[in-house]
Structure 1
Amino acid sequence: MSRRTAAKTPRILVVALRYLGDVLLTTPLPHALRQHYPGCEVDMLVFKGTESMLQNNPDIRRVYTIPERPAREEILALARQLWRRYDLAVVPQPGDKPHLFGFVAAPRRIGLVSTERSHSWWKRLLLRHALSVDGITHRVRENEQVVQMLGVPSARTVIPPTGQIAPEAWAEKLSPYLHGTAPFDPRQPFAVIHPSPRWRYKRWHTAGWASLMGELRQQGLRLLLSGGPGEAESRYLDEILAALDAPTRAAVIRIQGCLGLGELADLLHLARLYVGPDTATTHLAAACGTPTLALFGPTEPRQWGPSPPDGLEPPWDQRASSQVRGNVVLLQEPFRACVPCQQEGCERHRESHSECLDRMAPERVCQEAVAILRRQPGGGDAVPAPPAETQP
């Protein structure tokens, strides 16, 4: 797309039919396009249920959604809605549906394709410029390479959502979730703990979370326990809470399923620490600039390691006991050559255990969390203990 075209206020559609974390890591594209083509209008197409990751994004004019498994009528309705409404479609993923919607939406298209010619030949025919993926390049870097085909020099700035919640509003906003614990004061140090990923094979063990939360409470932090609304996640958080001693339990506010992603992002901006496994919320914390401790097992960091707000430099290594990029510390337990295997756990299904996470010692994680706190301004000072539990 030339500068002359850009002067006519081009309309661009970015297709991101993936999970929540992928949608977040696609936000550098509209941001870079808006900077490179001043005045252009950028819309996005995402799966229904992931649009909250784009809440109040200043670079995006409109968000279209479609179910992850749409009916034929839903596909046709969206196709009619998109038909040639755009000058350019950007398709930063090799799947079939994204490329078909890109073809419907715009006469010019660029995007990613698989290296397997038998799967990608027809997509290459549909694209003005095609880029093959190698399966290990980080999502942010993949997306950046796509728009570089347009002459856009860089696309690394991840834009988190926002619920536009003022810091002083949090005490009242969290008051319904105290359940007998002391009021929340956002001016006092707190950590956000998100133990439960979407799939079991990315999960650390209960004993580890209980040990970590006890250590953080002793460091004087209030603990905000986050999680998705699903039943499996609820049961896992129940299990963790049951393993806590009474003083630690009194320091916990359970915010599972209580906040939208934009609201959670606003809260993460204020936190002294975030700890979580490979999950969308961990990517969100990293993008917010929150000091983040990410616990990785089978997942390949080179492709999926959390990205600091301004991108990864240098990229994550494939395996290391501990590595740091910007505000993010990533821990692995590479006790065997198979780590990371990029498989669904040791049993190769989503409800499998992962020995590399089962072997990750609580002492390691606690030590790293305390080290992150101490590296912050004033981190060496004594932090007051959280208030004791109040009587109902």
Structure 2
Amino acid sequence: MIREGTRALIRAVGRSIAASLVPPAPRRELLVIQPDHLGDGILALPALRWIRRTYPSLQLTLAIGPWNVPLYETVSVCDDLLVLPFPGFSRERPRTPLAPYRLLVQEARRLRRRSPLAAIVLRDDHWWGAWLCKLAGVPIRIGADHPEVRPFLTHPVPLRSTHVAARDIELVAAFLRILGIEGTNTEVSPDRFPLTWPIDTAAQEQVRRLLRDHGVTEPFVVVHPGSGASAKCWPATRWTTVVGALQQRGLQVVLTGSTGERPELETITRGIRMPVTILSGVLSLAMLAELLRLAQLVIGPDTGPLHLAVAVGTPSLHLFGPTQPERFGPWGPPERHRILRSALTCVRCGNIGPDRKLGLGCMIALTPEQVLVVVDELLVSSRER
């Protein structure tokens, strides 16, 4: 942590730098800052598509972390990507306490050369991104009316919604109102602003070949047990029970995850008599989307691929522990995308930091029996459609 006196000095230096440089005339470019990882990046798609539909002539640039480049290169929602290693989101500790502030000055100079007309900071508490825009001299700076962000904005927006997707849409509506565009006072809901993912026929054919090579035929269920935050994960033994029960119901099971998650996936398969297909580190994001589209059901914790399942329209079951489903739950029809969380009073604490490891009480409180009850309900409803 940096002491308040040091932080005040850094801010004073930043103001001095900003005042000493006159930015060029702003061009017709909107910069949208989205520092988060895959899940929040997917949830931003309805808001970004609204900008594109409403103002197609506007140059739309996304400032994202390198972790979300595959997402925004796969879906066409912007004209350009500005890749930044956002402090606090890289899941690595800064080398020195001053490193985030040095990066701030460096990136502000780069952004000043672009000279965008406006910027929207999607994450409501992202003071670093808001400060970046102010330091770069962006004329219109929009974000949530959050105490850590407000000082750097020209237009702090009091947000009514709780869900991340809805809050992103509210911020876009504020930007459109500033431009004088009508029709922005509209209902914010998944029906009005659906989360979708276009079919990629080439990727789907690759997935079909991969499934044939592994002997997987429909119907099958995808289980994605991993997450970037260990606190959101369910114990492997619980997944083993669920996978075995799915096989007893006549369903093949495909486990997905990153290369680094393969040992955990292999642990899940131990003790299961029938073969389970593991696809770890072999799927591009486009292929993962098509795999989920072909599945009958997708199960996992609060993680990006579960939002991808919602986007492709496959029924899904989301296991929630310390995170808030009201904020991060599925942005889609609730009858097709179900949430399961424990009755513990401490749930939704939001504490998923690196010191919070696998095995939290709120996740352990979820039983395989509870999961299978919801699974059966989703399987019945999916067959009836």
Q: Do Structure 1 and Structure 2 share a fold, with TM-score over 0.5?
A: yes
Match of 1:331 in 2: 340
Query: Which residue of 1 is the match for residue 349 of structure 2?
Result: 341
| 8 Å contact from structure 2 (residues 207, 290) kept in 1 | no
Structure 1 residue 225: Cα displacement: 0.4
Contact persistence 2:104–2:128 (CA under 8 A): no
Q: Give runs of aligned pairs for residues 1-392 of structure 1, distance below 5 A.
A: 10-69=28-87, 75=104, 78-83=107-112, 84-93=114-123, 94-103=125-134, 104=136, 106-114=138-146, 116=147, 119-123=148-152, 126-127=153-154, 129-132=155-158, 137-149=162-174, 150-151=176-177, 152-153=184-185, 156-160=193-197, 165-174=202-211, 178=214, 183-185=215-217, 188-230=218-260, 233-244=261-272, 246-247=273-274, 250=275, 252-308=276-332, 325-334=334-343, 336-344=344-352, 349-377=355-383
Pick closer, same or farther for the CA change 1:68–1:109 going to 2, 3 Å: closer
Q: Could you tell me the TM-score, scaled by structure 1's length? A: 0.76
Which moved further from structure 2: 103-112 or 292-301? 103-112
The answer (yes or no) to whether the contact 2:30–2:116 under 8 Å persists in 1 is yes
Alignment check: 8 A CA contact 1:193 1:223 kept? yes
Q: Residues of 2 paired with 1:95 and 1:121: CA distance?
A: 10
The C-alpha deviation readout for 1:331-356, integer Å capped at 9, x for no partner, is: 1121x3223333349xx932152212
The answer to whether the Cα contact below 8 Å between 1:56 and 1:163 also exists between their aligned partners in 2 is: no
CA deviation map 1:35-88 (0-9, x unaligned): 222332312011111222223322211111112348677655543443243222
Task: After TM superposition, give the deviation of residue 361 of structure 1 in Å.
Answer: 1.7
- Cα deviation 1:93-114 (Å, max 9, x = unaligned): 2322211333327322211241
2:295–2:314 CA contact under 8 A, matched in 1:
yes
Letter in 2 for 1:167: Q
The CA deviation at 1:219 is: 2.4
CA distance in 2, matches of 1:45, 1:121: 20
Check the 8 A contact 1:213/1:223 in 2, yes or no. Answer: yes
* 2:232 and 2:320 in contact (8 A); partners too: yes
CA–CA distance in structure 1, aligned partners of residues 116 and 165 of structure 2: 24
CA contact (8 A) 1:90 1:111 kept: yes
The 2-side partners of 1:96 and 1:367 are apart by 43
What TM-score does the superposition give when structure 2 sets the normalisation length?
A: 0.77
Whole-angstrom CA distance in 2 between matches of 1:144 and 1:281: 21
Q: Distance in 1 between matches of 2:158 and 2:208?
A: 49
RMSD (Å), alpha carbons: 2.8
Secondary structure at the counterpart of residue 318 of structure 2: strand
Identity rate of aligned residues, in percent? 28
Matched to 1:42, the amino acid is L
The structure whose residues are more often helix, as a share, is 2
Deviation sequence 1:218-252 (CA, Å, 0-9, x none): 2222211011232xx333222211132x21xx1x2
Deviation at 1:91, TM superposition (A): 1.2
Any stretches of 5+ residues in structure 2 without a counterpart? 1-26, 88-93, 178-183
The alignment partner of 1:224 has SS state of strand
Report the number of matched residues: 333
